[in-house]
Structure 1
Amino acid sequence: MTYPGHVKAILVLGLPLIGGHVAQYAITLTDTVMLGWYGVGELAAVTLAGSYFFVFFILGAGFALAVMPMVAAVAAKGDDTSVRRITRMGLWLSLAYGAIAMPVMIWSEPILASLGQPPEVSELAARYLRVAGWGLFPALLVMVLKSYLAALERTQIVFWITIVAALTNALANYALIFGNFGAPELGIMGAAVASIITQAVSLLAVIVYAVLALPEHRMFQRFWRPDWDMLLQVFRLGLPIGLTTVSEVSLFSASALMMGWLGTVPLAAHGIVVSIAACTFMVHLGLSNVATIRAGNAFGRQDRAHLARGAEVVTALSLGFAAVTILLFLLLPEPLMSLFMEPDNAQRPAILAIGVGLLAIAALFQLVDGAQAIALGLLRGVQDTKVPMIMAVLSYWVIGIPTSYLLGFVWGMGGIGVWLGLVTGLACAGVFLMLRFWRRALGKVALAA
């Protein structure tokens, strides 16, 4: 396939995935914006609770992310039986993981307090998590089924289901946080209930589509029957993926904890800037998913030339988008941040003063954050996950988090120092993982061909 052919194929497959990721993140973004309108304390609490929830969610999502390259590879060979076996065991593992993770949601308050968070913020965040934490089960199941559909290149339905979920969340938040449409005013607890409603609607929609549109896979017939061999295969691929992803997420979660040590206003500013940066990251994440699917297909066919050329194109697209977001972050910081606050908020000037500097730092890591996401997508496509996991842990936990602490607190740079540590960890990961793909993983396909 020519380079223009790869661009077209990637965009046809990728635009719905990108739109789906943006719509998915709109759910979190809606919580942040509406609670920012409701109160600074609630905004700080949902920032902390969201980071906490996401660490555990993304670890469990490793099994869903493993489903994508595995289904893509067997689908390239026309093996429908393996498609069903892989997806079903991904669902099994997600349910088991949810049961294991629930206690840390229910008893989150002492954990957050032990991490040095202000008591009033910890208490609010824990109240949110005791309700929203139950959404872990449907959220993980939805993630598995979306990965299954995306691997079969049914990305448009993934997009539309996510759009429905985002609209459901916005309406439920508007009703339950502020007491609109005759609903009670529940504040942060309204956002928690809205998240449960949203995940339930998403799960129902994706199950109905899978059953009606793909009856040949018989996904839920005799669902209770174990398939231990395939479960172990999904587990072996998914656990390193989950640990890799959680190592990056924990870098941001650790930064949220550190910003909480600086006070409620810095934590609120951090929450706004992370929300903005995460929204643009959804484009890179969508391209990363495309990289996984197309690399998985090429890996299944042992087509090295197709894999290499596709990797070049998806990397170039990611870099191009990063250049655009850098300009936006540097030229329009205050308008972007103002979306998250009411104009008459008394603490608005203080939040803006901190947030503008953080957004400038966020512009620095756009290139490297995109690079590490694309590299991970490509590596997962060729089912290379163990060494990338080690690289990610070293980059984020051994380099990034200590650098954030040293710059932010030992050397007195505050929030700017904490965020420079983020840049350092992401840059190391981007370099290590890209080198891994082009030097080793690509050769794995060549040797097997």
Structure 2
Amino acid sequence: MNTTGTDDTITEGGLLGPMFKLAWPIVVIQLLQVTYNIADTFWLGRLSADAVGALSLAFPLIFLLISIAGGFTTAGSILVAQYTGADSEGSAGKVAGQILTFVTLLALALSVLGYVATDSMLELLPSQGATTEQIIPLAGQYMEVFFLGLPFLFGFFVFTSLMRGYGDTKTPMRVMVVSVAMNVVLDPLLIFGIGPVPALGIETEILSGMGIEGAALATILSRGVASVLGFYVLFVARVGPDVQTRYLVPDLSYIWDIVRIGVPSTLEQSMSALAMITLTAMVVQFAPPVVSAYGLGNRLASLVFLPAMGLGRATNTMVGQNLGAGKSERAERAAWIAAKVGAAVMFGVAVIAALFPEPIVSVFMATGTDAARETVRHGAEYLRIRSVEFTFMAILQVMLGAYRGAGNTKTAMAFSAVALWVGRVPTVYYLAFVANMGATGIWVGMALGNVLGAIAAVLWFTRGTWKATVIDEDETAESAAAPTPGAEPEVSETGTSGPTDGK
């Protein structure tokens, strides 16, 4: 069973220490993840405000395709966590190998689909006037390059998810540091190029700038390096789940469990992506500065949400391993501790965001144009209003992490739907277009979704009906008693030992 290296482990002793040791590398990974986007925004903000606006249009469309495969990496994390908690190393390694094969094939298919469908997806957005002429073409250029490199993203996503389920969050963090450092160096070089160097007798461009396409290429190349390092860790360094090459051969019994648990997570992420696209379709009906402020504000929100996201994913592992070990009460206590810590941290972040929104937003818009100043004005209002939801966001993420750790991906999907499709999308539409609040209505509606979702998720959590594993207890006991290399345990047809949807 995986431990944290001290007397307190994930399944034994105190909870706060192991949770912190899991969470802080995840927060760093998420910070580094956001650094990709922030670096793109920072340098493209020095190219033009339209380039920043193009990112805000491209991202939800890209995320829609990413979400289709992303849910299955969540299934891998859940299964690895529960098998690890049950001391079933063979099954943890086998399910890790199956996830690698399944998601890789899916990512290749989505890469082709995304590249071919880029123009069609952008045509679905009801943009008008200057937004159509100035921003849509740039978004298309970014998306085409990005989709060609989609498999490189998923290599690292799968590696991180499997290692998190195993209880090792530091190794993916180290790999991510290398990848982000590479992206930070490549971004300005590929976006702006390298000019003449007279001292060396070079009078022509050494490297021509690619503009927004350079930002996409820098991210893809950096992700490729991370994926290669991740595979090296799993197959050569032998760190994490015991993944053997023979585990890469498809096994329908494991794939069924991956699909059964992963589909609700895929639907959850797809609903999030569709909500983002719907919101973007509303936003593009405004002037370019509002579109740019929306994209910039979303990236800043993803940055300040890092502590909540880290605790949510740590809760996933804590709950998964403890339920696998048969310790449901410990799993519940871990979730409540994470919720309280997350709420306290995010309250402090909210105070800072509410007091100093304009200086924060101004860092990313340095062209000095009228469009940039208008973008800063809208972006500051966005950040100030959304700061109200920060505490609720932390609680919601922890509750969703607990449900996912238990394998209750349908329950997590339901509360994500409440937050997005009950609390956010209709509210934004009503406030912005029916109540005629304009851009302010968008920002207010965005904030209300997480407030409603958090309240609903906590009320359901108190019922305690989520405390069941999604692995076969007899099977894991047999594996622990006889862990021979040639006799890996199989997952049952249903793979459940009780209700898995929280009902």
State the TM-score, normalized to the length of structure 2. 0.84
Equivalent in the alignment of 2:380: 356
Equivalent in the alignment of 1:11: 20
| 1:210 partnered with 2:259 | no
Equivalent in the alignment of 1:112: 122
Equivalent in the alignment of 1:251: 275
The CA deviation string for residues 353-411 of structure 1, in whole angstroms up to 9 with x for no partner, is 21121111210121222222111100011111113323322431244212211111122
Gaps of 5+ in 1: none
Alignment of 1:409-428 (within 5 A): 409-428=433-452
SS in 2 for 1:92: helix
Residues 256 and 321 of structure 1: CA distance in aligned 2, closer, same or farther (over 3 Å): farther
SS in 2 for 1:261: coil
Residues 330 and 440 of structure 1: CA distance in aligned 2, closer, same or farther (over 3 Å): same
1:190, distance to aligned residue in structure 2 (A): 0.5
Aligned residues: 447
Equivalent in the alignment of 1:432: 456
Equivalent in the alignment of 1:162: 176
Given that residues 113 and 119 in structure 1 are in contact (C-alpha distance below 8 angstroms), is that contact kept between their aligned partners in structure 2? no
Q: Root-mean-square deviation (CA), in Å?
A: 2.3
SS in 2 for 1:154: coil
Equivalent in the alignment of 2:392: 368
Alignment of 1:50-129 (within 5 A): 50-102=59-111, 103-117=113-127, 118-120=131-133, 121-129=135-143
The CA deviation string for residues 210-244 of structure 1, in whole angstroms up to 9 with x for no partner, is 12332795635136521111011011111111222
| 1:267 partnered with 2:277 | no
d(CA) in 1 for partners of 2:334 and 2:120?
48
Alignment of 1:379-394 (within 5 A): 379-394=403-418
Equivalent in the alignment of 1:194: 218
Given that residues 176 and 194 in structure 1 are in contact (C-alpha distance below 8 angstroms), is that contact kept between their aligned partners in structure 2? yes
Alignment of 1:124-135 (within 5 A): 124-135=138-149
1:332, distance to aligned residue in structure 2 (A): 1.0
1:27, distance to aligned residue in structure 2 (A): 0.6
Percent identity over the alignment is: 22
Equivalent in the alignment of 2:342: 318
Given that residues 384 and 441 in structure 1 are in contact (C-alpha distance below 8 angstroms), is that contact kept between their aligned partners in structure 2? no
Residues 390 and 435 of structure 1: CA distance in aligned 2, closer, same or farther (over 3 Å): same
Which stretch has the larger CA shift, 50-59 or 218-227?
A: 218-227
Equivalent in the alignment of 2:201: none
Given that residues 382 and 441 in structure 1 are in contact (C-alpha distance below 8 angstroms), is that contact kept between their aligned partners in structure 2? no
| 1:30 partnered with 2:39 | yes
| 1:43 partnered with 2:49 | no
Equivalent in the alignment of 2:326: 302
1:87, distance to aligned residue in structure 2 (A): 1.3
Q: Of Structure 1 and Structure 2, which has the larger fraction of its residues in helix?
A: 1
d(CA) in 1 for partners of 2:94 and 2:75?
13
d(CA) in 2 for partners of 1:283 and 1:315?
11
Given that residues 308 and 442 in structure 1 are in contact (C-alpha distance below 8 angstroms), is that contact kept between their aligned partners in structure 2? no
Counterpart residue type for residue 174 of structure 1: P
The CA deviation string for residues 222-272 of structure 1, in whole angstroms up to 9 with x for no partner, is 365211110110111111112223323443343233222112110111111
1:415, distance to aligned residue in structure 2 (A): 1.6
SS in 2 for 1:440: coil
Residues 124 and 191 of structure 1: CA distance in aligned 2, closer, same or farther (over 3 Å): same
Given that residues 233 and 239 in structure 2 are in contact (C-alpha distance below 8 angstroms), is that contact kept between their aligned partners in structure 1? no
d(CA) in 2 for partners of 1:15 and 1:134?
32
- Return structure 1 stretches of 4+ with deviation > 4 angstroms: 1-4, 215-218, 442-445
1:444, distance to aligned residue in structure 2 (A): 4.4
Given that residues 92 and 242 in structure 2 are in contact (C-alpha distance below 8 angstroms), is that contact kept between their aligned partners in structure 1? no
SS in 2 for 1:365: helix
d(CA) in 2 for partners of 1:116 and 1:213?
50
Counterpart residue type for residue 138 of structure 2: L
1:12, distance to aligned residue in structure 2 (A): 1.4
d(CA) in 2 for partners of 1:248 and 1:317?
25
The CA deviation string for residues 405-447 of structure 1, in whole angstroms up to 9 with x for no partner, is 11111221112212222222222221222223221345547x9
d(CA) in 1 for partners of 2:13 and 2:443?
38
Given that residues 119 and 140 in structure 2 are in contact (C-alpha distance below 8 angstroms), is that contact kept between their aligned partners in structure 1? yes
Given that residues 159 and 172 in structure 2 are in contact (C-alpha distance below 8 angstroms), is that contact kept between their aligned partners in structure 1? no
Q: Which has the larger radius of gyration?
A: 2
d(CA) in 1 for partners of 2:18 and 2:212?
42
Equivalent in the alignment of 2:476: none
SS in 1 for 2:440: helix
Gaps of 5+ in 2: 1-7, 196-205, 470-496, 499-503
Counterpart residue type for residue 286 of structure 2: L
1:348, distance to aligned residue in structure 2 (A): 2.6
1:52, distance to aligned residue in structure 2 (A): 1.6
d(CA) in 1 for partners of 2:280 and 2:218?
23
